[in-house]
A and B are shown apart, each in its own frame.
Chain A
């Protein structure tokens, strides 16, 4: 059975590029437009990995990360950050909030799939 990835980004083009890459590799993809949307969808689906942006309206990626980690199902689910931000301070915040890894945009599809494969096996 295909593994399900929740892809969260307010940019439609990024969501489409992520979905295109992941679906091409056989993953099921659920898309969310911001943290709040992702939180709603995370409650409705069994997700194997969350891939989220940081800067988003309504709820940002760090808040989403913090709230997901409080949910029983998402305590140990890999949560990867995919963002334009590359500062040490914000990375440290992400790490402290429970992020599994940090990827800086733009992403390379092969490397993205390698990293995802590595964290969800």
Chain B
């Protein structure tokens, strides 16, 4: 970013000694304080999402385990009452208990299905780490361009070309096998199984 400065304080955009405008470069590179802050903010927000998701998953797992424990107790209790209510004349009670047992079985089935959905936290955490890595790679590449100084020497096409090359390079690194996206799943349906 360029800014005009006064030679004698009368006009901030003009040097009265040389009769030319004065240009002072404050932030000469791509990695300005603003850019650093921008990258730090992205990383901070990705970290915040990670912590929020992790916290939510931990709470959900605690809830899940507690509901599962209660369901098992309920199931056992219905079985115990069923045994006690066995004598003749208790048909309505037995019918009610049978209905209770069906409900308990359905709750257990639903809980089993929730096991698959509750794994979302792991997928999200890995995607966030992958995205944070890509942001970091772009930041490093911009710093590399700054260090080369191409940017300062030629403010025209060359500088633009260097930026574009750098961004392409960062994108290419992101595509290489070592940086391969660890999660390609688009939903929480069960994954494939292959026995070797």
Chain B residues in the interface with A (C-beta under 8 A): 57-58, 61, 65, 68, 112, 115-123, 125-126, 177, 180, 182-185, 188-196
Does the CB pair A102–B196 fall under 8 Å?
A: yes
Q: Which of B118, B180, B184 contacts A13 (CB 8 A)?
A: B118
The CA-CA distance from A20 to B108 in the complex, in Å, is 13
* A16-B61 in contact given A11-B122, A105-B119, A105-B122 (Cβ < 8 Å): yes
- Interface flag for A67 (CB, 8 Å): no
| Stretch of A27-35, A37-45, A69-77, A86-94 lying at the B interface | A86-94
CB-CB under 8 A from A106, the residues of chain B are 116-117, 119-120, 123, 185, 188-191
The CA-CA distance from A106 to B189 in the complex, in Å, is 7
16 contacts between A and B (CB under 8 A): A11-B121, A17-B61, A17-B115, A17-B118, A20-B115, A87-B180, A91-B194, A100-B196, A103-B192, A105-B191, A106-B119, A106-B190, A109-B116, A110-B112, A115-B193, A115-B195
Chain A residues in the interface with B (C-beta under 8 A): 9, 11-14, 16-17, 20-21, 55, 84-87, 89, 91, 95, 99-111, 115, 118-119
**Tally of contacts, chain A with chain B, CB under 8 A:** 94
Does the CB pair B68–A20 fall under 8 Å?
A: yes
CB-CB under 8 A from A118, the residues of chain B are 195
The CA-CA distance from A21 to B68 in the complex, in Å, is 11
Does the CB pair B193–A89 fall under 8 Å?
A: no
The CA-CA distance from A73 to B23 in the complex, in Å, is 74
CB-CB under 8 A from A89, the residues of chain B are 177
Does the CB pair A108–B116 fall under 8 Å?
A: yes
